[in-house]
Structure 1
Amino acid sequence: MRRGIATLAAVGAVATAMVAAPAAHAEGRGDIRVTKTVVNKGGSVIVGVKSPKRFAIAMTIKDDSGVKRVTHVSAFNAGNSHGPVSYLGTTCKKSSGTTSLCTATMEIDPTWIDSYGSGNRGWDANAVAGIWQVNATVQADDGDYWISDRIATFKVKRAATLTTDAAPEPVKKGHTLTVTGKLSRANWTDLKYHGFTKQVVKLQYKKPGGSYHTVRTATTDSKGNLRTTVKATASGSWRWAFLGTTTTMKVVSTGDAVTVK
């Protein structure tokens, strides 16, 4: 039997430096403003359990005298203010006399998340996942400055894996085919993958040369396992597909091809 194992399809980042979340405000002097902010090219920042991950925060900044610099950028969970992320600096490029595109580099190290809040009673490292916000302080050539909160929001998600195994292989036409699998996600407390329970996952099928379509859904058990049966009518490939949540990435397993005789 062949087992299809999904790759981590968008591992973005989580990181390591304590960032204090200031009270919401926007203040400064003059007309300098951040007019557009894009985090991680518009995608979620997805964090596994091993290597540090970096992501970019691209800011379009305008001032009538020109943009001097970005003084600081911070990012943290908008709901609980957890922010184990390192700000590694910003580079700016002028696109006109009044506008610059400045890109901040951030880094999240999953191996540091748990220790970041370990002194707090009831600390849950996985609570770092969710909707985050970006704050930035910018300066203009003429001395104008602006401290901007929540110039963008984005999602930090836990990485996930998903497997598929269809058996028996081959199978006789009209007989029962059993499709199993397991949905797991990163745990930032022990830096391992654990079964993701009570999640609805789609079972999908495609004929050779065709496209996948959903046949039915199943719910993961207390260990993240999936199991269902279907009638074997034609050769093709089977896979599980999970749509993701606010805190966990979307993941699709590799298909498992089955020959029907």
Structure 2
Amino acid sequence: MRRRIAVASAVAAVAAGIVAAPAAHAEGRGDIRVTRTVVNGGGNVIVGVKDVKRFTISMTVKDNSGVKKVSRVSAFNTANGYGPVDYLGSTCKKSNKTTSVCTATMQVDPAWIDSYGSGNRGWDANAVAGEWQVNATVQANDGDYWISDRIALFKVKRAASLTTDATPEPVRKGATLTVTGKLSRANWTDRKYHGFTKQVVKLQYKKAGGSYSTVKTATTDSKGNLRATVKASAAGSWRWAFAGTTTTMKVDSTGDAVTLK
């Protein structure tokens, strides 16, 4: 049976960042410490509506007697304490006599997020997204131990999708080209994608062999739809690009190539 790690204590707001050491609050005995922590290789943890998301937490741990193990790792939202994540265990690799790099494997199952807080009045599964922190307990060969709080901060974000369709194709040079699209993001309550409303999205263009540059922006409507018109001056590809938010991933659509008549 998988181990469920859920912490629901109140947590103070903290500054953003991926790596944080030493811990903001800690207790224990001796000189063992976590000196560096990296979550998911330094990237955001993106969770969709179907696939189970696994990610790693890499911790550099030091003690004068050597590192024995990491006995516990937890992670949860810094604003509300929500932490629907499984701790699957950890392994340590010795770097030298005093230092080891220990890697914990964590797992988020979208099917569990909504049920995690279903007993809470007014529960919103999507409130899980945002800034999270890592806590860990480490042990040394000489019996030293340290319970480390907030050894790293990272972002858990809702997955997003973005489409582009440019018409007509082909288009006469100088004629009006209409570019539409839709921005959607994962909803962890019903595990479906819904239109992301009132978001500013960039319309970008590139010639063959070139790179994309922004032509104009548009705002998604009540269903997440996008629409813009441009003059077709040359053949090339068009796409929408969304910068993301603190709770939703960055996403660029696939380009739609348009030729001239």
Q: Does 1:208 align with 2:214?
A: no
Name the structure 2 match of 1:12: none
Q: Given that residues 70 and 102 in structure 1 are in contact (C-alpha distance below 8 angstroms), is that contact kept between their aligned partners in structure 2?
A: yes
Instruction: Give the drift of 1:20.
Output: 1.8
Residues 62, 160 of structure 1: alpha-carbon distance in 2 compared, 3 angstrom cutoff: same
1:112 aligns to what SS in structure 2?
A: helix
Instruction: Give the drift of 1:17.
Output: 2.7
Residues 21, 151 of structure 1: alpha-carbon distance in 2 compared, 3 angstrom cutoff: farther
Instruction: Give the drift of 1:41.
Output: 0.1
- Distance between the aligned counterparts of 2:65 and 2:9, measured in 1? 28
Instruction: Give the drift of 1:90.
Output: 0.4
- Distance between the aligned counterparts of 1:16 and 1:204, measured in 2? 45
Residues 182, 113 of structure 1: alpha-carbon distance in 2 compared, 3 angstrom cutoff: same
- Distance between the aligned counterparts of 1:211 and 1:94, measured in 2? 44
- Distance between the aligned counterparts of 2:230 and 2:98, measured in 1? 63
- Distance between the aligned counterparts of 1:232 and 1:53, measured in 2? 42
Name the structure 2 match of 1:226: 226
Q: 1:173-188 residue pairs with structure 2 within 5 A?
A: 173-188=173-188
Q: 1:48-87 residue pairs with structure 2 within 5 A?
A: 48-87=48-87
- Compute the TM-score of the two structures, normalised by the length of structure 2: 0.93
- Distance between the aligned counterparts of 1:158 and 1:251, measured in 2? 11
Q: Does 1:17 align with 2:8?
A: no
Name the structure 1 match of 2:113: 113
1:65 aligns to what SS in structure 2?
A: coil
Q: Given that residues 3 and 88 in structure 2 are in contact (C-alpha distance below 8 angstroms), is that contact kept between their aligned partners in structure 1?
A: no
1:229 aligns to what SS in structure 2?
A: strand
Name the structure 2 match of 1:135: 135
- Distance between the aligned counterparts of 1:194 and 1:151, measured in 2? 34
Paired residue total: 247
Instruction: Give the drift of 1:23.
Output: 6.7
- Compute the TM-score of the two structures, normalised by the length of structure 1: 0.93
Name the structure 2 match of 1:6: none
Q: Given that residues 27 and 147 in structure 2 are in contact (C-alpha distance below 8 angstroms), is that contact kept between their aligned partners in structure 1?
A: yes
Q: Given that residues 16 and 116 in structure 1 are in contact (C-alpha distance below 8 angstroms), is that contact kept between their aligned partners in structure 2?
A: no
Q: Given that residues 75 and 135 in structure 1 are in contact (C-alpha distance below 8 angstroms), is that contact kept between their aligned partners in structure 2?
A: yes
| Structure 2: 5+ residue stretches without partners | 12-24
| Structure 1: 5+ residue stretches without partners | 1-14
- Distance between the aligned counterparts of 2:208 and 2:199, measured in 1? 29
Q: Which has the higher contact order (CA 8 A, sep 6+)?
A: 1
Root mean square deviation of aligned Cα: 1.3
- Distance between the aligned counterparts of 1:225 and 1:119, measured in 2? 34
